[in-house]
Chains A and B, each alone.
Chain A
Amino acid sequence: MSAAIEVKGVRKTFRVKGGLMGKDRHVVACDDVSFSVAEGGVLGVVGESGCGKSTLARLILGLLEPDSGEITVEGQRVLAMDRKARARLIQPVFQDPFASLNPMARISDIVAMPLVAQGTFGRAEIAAKVEEMLERVGLSKEQGTRLPAELSGGQRQRVAIARALVLRPRIVVCDEPTSALDVSVQAQILNLLAELRREFNLTYLFISHNLAVVEHVASDVAVMYLGRFVERQPTETLFAKPEHPYTQALLASVLTPQPGLGVPDVGLGDTLPDPANIPPGCRFHPRCPIAEPRCSVETPPLKPRPGGGVECLLVP
């Protein structure tokens, strides 16, 4: 079986200008990342802000070019594909439903955009498809005549989903699709995404900082830290038996609504990672509660696990 998304040794750095006197600095967003997502699977990517997860999404969507490495979607190189063919294959849903819709365009025009860009659909056909798609995500035809500012956050995210799915793509990259929404609306959107995935047999790359959400939607989870996947496992395994100390800290900091448990001690210090200044050895060692001297020298190898792997010197 072929993989829907295949990422091999992808590296991406950004140059940050250092000002008049300062030197330019290189911010590492993705550092030799490799993984694949099977057809119909959902890979959840979790990590803190600045860990490179949004850059990864943009690389896979073809919005950015990797410094090195290769990304293929359904067996075709993302950057080699014609823009229309790529649009039929892979689509995004972004985090902020305020910024992801053109404030000057009507909802129906926003949803129609991918169809219009193809240049092969007639006007009546486009109108019918747009109406059907809007209805599918729970919006009325009348709402299609409005501007984004007239809709609520949840409704806007429905519009973004309708736009992503109107071409019936195979893969959807969801970059924090519910982070800007209220809990009750988040549940609606998560349910909608799950329904649509089953209905259209979609593959998702689901990026989020919320582990509880990722646990609910993903079949596999990758934990990203300073541009690398430090642990990747099937969801059940990862949540039952997290191996990497960073994964453990992340899981410990999930505050489930269960009274009486108190706030756990996650055991990380007050220093935060700086993607422009990656520590030698294991990149997590300055914050790691169980770090040993060799962690600051040796680069941890990938220790394979069924359906993934862990990058830590201290696990067997």
Chain B
Amino acid sequence: MSALLEVEKLEVTFGGRTAAVRGASFTVERGETHCLVGESGCGKSVTALSVMDLLARGAERRAGRLAFEGQDLRGLSDSAMARLRGNEMAMIFQEPMTSLNPAYTVGSQMTEGLRRHKKVSQREATDRAVDLLGRVGITAPGLRLGQFPHQLSGGLRQRVMIAMALMCEPKLLIADEPTTALDVTVQAQILRLLATLQRDLGLGLLLITHDLGIVARIATRVSVMYAGEVVESAATADLFANPRHPYTQGLLRCVPVPGKTRRDEPLGSIPGTVPRIGPGFEGCAFRDRCSFADETCARAIPRHSAGSTHDFLCRLPA
């Protein structure tokens, strides 16, 4: 049986000038949480949007393979894609306020998708909405159904978004920085909720984040993105115990950890800033910031493997 989501050699360019994603490949298996982690501008959000076929106009998507449950998404018509989106695969975004329509109640927005995709009655749809709002930890779900988005706090809105995404029982949930706009305590609650739902419903979860703490706590597999490429991919424990790519190593040293990093000692840091990459760029995009770099890094970089599930993109041998 084929994997839930297969992405191979994904490339996205904007107006032929900026290459946002450059040959990213990864696979999301059924029932696993796969994290795409990277800094701003690394192409992680664009990757998510291109899987959902939600890229802005002017963006061009190419891929060696882009398949959902073995079904090729590349040649799919707009209407076939729309049937898949929100039904089989759902997405939640960073800022829940902008993804909820302020003019409609929570209830009508939640039931709309289910009624369109599954052709159920309003009664059944409302029952499911109440049930799901309860599952995402909202006390008084009946009351919330009649409310408008602006009457909810940020944390509640994100819970509503999650419940809404689950209405049609999708197999794949893509979450793009779902907790970045939230306070720390609410962030922990929402992530715990996502992890629980993922396990209980057997969802495939593709989580996009910049926060290594979130990755460590929630992911089964991690793909580290840098300048539009997946530079390292491994099972979570393996990646944190044994990071191989210099960028991953640098990133892990940057994060202060209470009890581990010492106040009087500087944090590890990566010098410089992320380069702007145009099409036709050759070699390793990290070489200007890498302490191991030499002239061979300007050539094509081989993908090394460190064990069956761990590979990385660096000229340094495994």
| Contact B192–A191 (Cβ < 8 Å) | no
**List of A residues within 8 angstroms of B185 by Cβ:** 48, 249-250, 253, 266, 268
**Closest Cβ neighbor of B257 among chain A residues:** A256
Q: Are A270 and B139 in contact (CB under 8 A)?
A: yes
Most central of A48, A49, A216, A268 by chain B CB within 10 Å = A216
Segment among B13-21, B72-80, B206-214 that sits at the interface with chain A: B206-214
B215 interface residue (CB < 8 Å to A): yes
Q: Is A210 an interface residue (CB 8 A)?
A: yes
Query: Is the Cβ of A184 less than 8 Å from the Cβ of B266?
Result: no
Which B208-259 residues have C-beta < 8 A from chain A? 210-218, 236-237, 240-241, 250-259
Minimum Cβ distance to chain A for residue B149 (Å): 15
* Residues A183 and B39 in contact in the complex (CB < 8 Å), given A210-B184, A212-B255: yes
**Which one, B159, B211, B252, B260, contacts A270 given CB within 8 A?**
B159
A155 within 8 A of B: yes
Asked if A184 and B256 sit within 8 Å, CB to CB, the answer is no
Interface string of A193-223 (1 = CB under 8 A from B): 0110000000000000111110111010000
Docked CA distance A77–B40 (Å): 42
Among residues of B, the one whose C-beta sits closest to the C-beta of A249 is B185
Q: Would you call A260 and B237 a contact (CB within 8 A)?
A: yes
Say yes or no: A263 contacts B192, CB within 8 Å: yes
Give the shortest distance, in Å, between A183 (CB) and chain B (any CB): 5
B236 cross-chain contacts in A, Cβ below 8 A = 259
* Contact A188 B191, beta carbon cutoff 8 Å: no
Q: Is B195 an interface residue, CB under 8 A from the partner?
A: yes
Q: Measured between C-beta atoms, what is the minimum distance from A230 to chain B in Å?
A: 14
Among B192, B250, B263, max chain A CB count under 10 A is at B263
Q: B residues touching A (Cβ–Cβ < 8 Å)?
A: 39-40, 137-139, 153, 155-156, 159, 183-189, 191-192, 195, 210-218, 236-237, 240-241, 250-261, 263, 266-271, 273
List 7 A-B pairs, minimum CB-CB distance, nearest first. Answer: A255-B213, A253-B188, A187-B254, A216-B256, A187-B269, A182-B39, A48-B183
Name 13 A/B residue pairs within 8 A (Cβ), A-sorted.
A183-B212, A183-B251, A185-B39, A212-B257, A216-B258, A239-B259, A255-B187, A257-B240, A257-B255, A258-B217, A263-B188, A263-B191, A269-B139
